[in-house]
Chains A and B, each alone.
Chain A
Amino acid sequence: MGLEQETEMTREETDALLSRHETGVLSLASDDDPYAIPISYGYDADERQFYMRLVSTPDSKKREFLSGSPTVRLVVYEEAGRTYRSVVVSGVLHPIARDEITPEHVEQYGDAKRPLFEIWGDARKDLDIQLYVLRPETISGRRIELELDQ
């Protein structure tokens, strides 16, 4: 029943979790309004940065929340048997302008999955796909092990 043990994960364990997953929940805010969306990402464990493609339509609410370089949180978690792991990242989401795209970006986005959760209909020309890099200020990973004999 009880939470038996909560442990802070090492950098290696945290990076391994972020690398084996490719989706998470991104939270944005504007004044008192929260906005959370499921997203796909690619993680560069060397630079500890996240690469994302976010889709919005010209008058979508999402675009409002994404304007500028917003402060965000990203949550990635997993449940494996009796072990629960979660990582909370906070940092700033920087848009990458089309003319700033380098071959290195292309490589990073090659590892990022297509926007799995995003609407990907026929009217692609109406969709704005913007590239972002999330530069974390903090990355904190926790592991909880449940006791065996319950």
Chain B
Amino acid sequence: MSASEEYVFVCPDCEESMEVNPSMRDALVANGCVVCGAPVSIDAFTRVESSADP
């Protein structure tokens, strides 16, 4: 469990893609895509391993 849990969100409808944290992910699932308004499920998110930045 890293403190900086990140996901990549790709909207199934408008194909907008953005990197999001857990609170953004929850907001998107609850409210739909912020860009186009389409419903969003948890499948629209892929966990990313944080890159090896210092």
Residue of A nearest to B28 (CB): A106
Is B36 engaged at the interface, CB distance under 8 Å to the other chain? yes
Among candidates B14, B27, B34, residue contacting A124 with C-beta atoms closer than 8 Å: B14
Q: How many residues on B have C-beta within 8 angstroms of the other chain's C-beta atoms?
A: 18
Segment with Cβ contacts to B, from A7-15, A28-36, A97-105:
A97-105
Within A44-81, the residues touching B (CB, 8 Å) are 53
Is A110 engaged at the interface, CB distance under 8 Å to the other chain? yes
Is A135 engaged at the interface, CB distance under 8 Å to the other chain? no
A109: chain B residues within 8 A (beta carbon): 31-32, 34, 37
Q: Which of A101, A107, A131 has the most CB of B within 10 A?
A: A101
Is B48 engaged at the interface, CB distance under 8 Å to the other chain? no
Question: How distant is the Cα of A105 from the Cα of B24 in the complex, in angstroms?
Answer: 10
Shortest distance in angstroms between A127's beta carbon and chain B's nearest beta carbon? 8
Question: How distant is the Cα of A129 from the Cα of B30 in the complex, in angstroms?
Answer: 21
Question: How distant is the Cα of A138 from the Cα of B16 in the complex, in angstroms?
Answer: 34
Q: Which of B16, B27, B32, B34 has the most CB of A within 10 A?
A: B34
Among candidates B16, B27, B37, residue contacting A114 with C-beta atoms closer than 8 Å: B37
Q: Tell me whether A114 and B24 are in contact in the complex, defined as CB-CB below 8 angstroms, given that A106-B31, A129-B14 are known contacts.
A: no
B15 & A105 in contact (Cβ 8 Å cutoff):
no
Is A82 engaged at the interface, CB distance under 8 Å to the other chain? no
A107 & B31 in contact (Cβ 8 Å cutoff):
yes
Known: A99-B18, A103-B23, A131-B35. 19 other contacts (CB 8 A): A53-B35, A53-B36, A53-B37, A101-B18, A103-B24, A103-B26, A106-B27, A106-B30, A107-B27, A109-B31, A109-B37, A110-B30, A112-B37, A114-B36, A115-B37, A124-B13, A125-B15, A129-B16, A129-B35
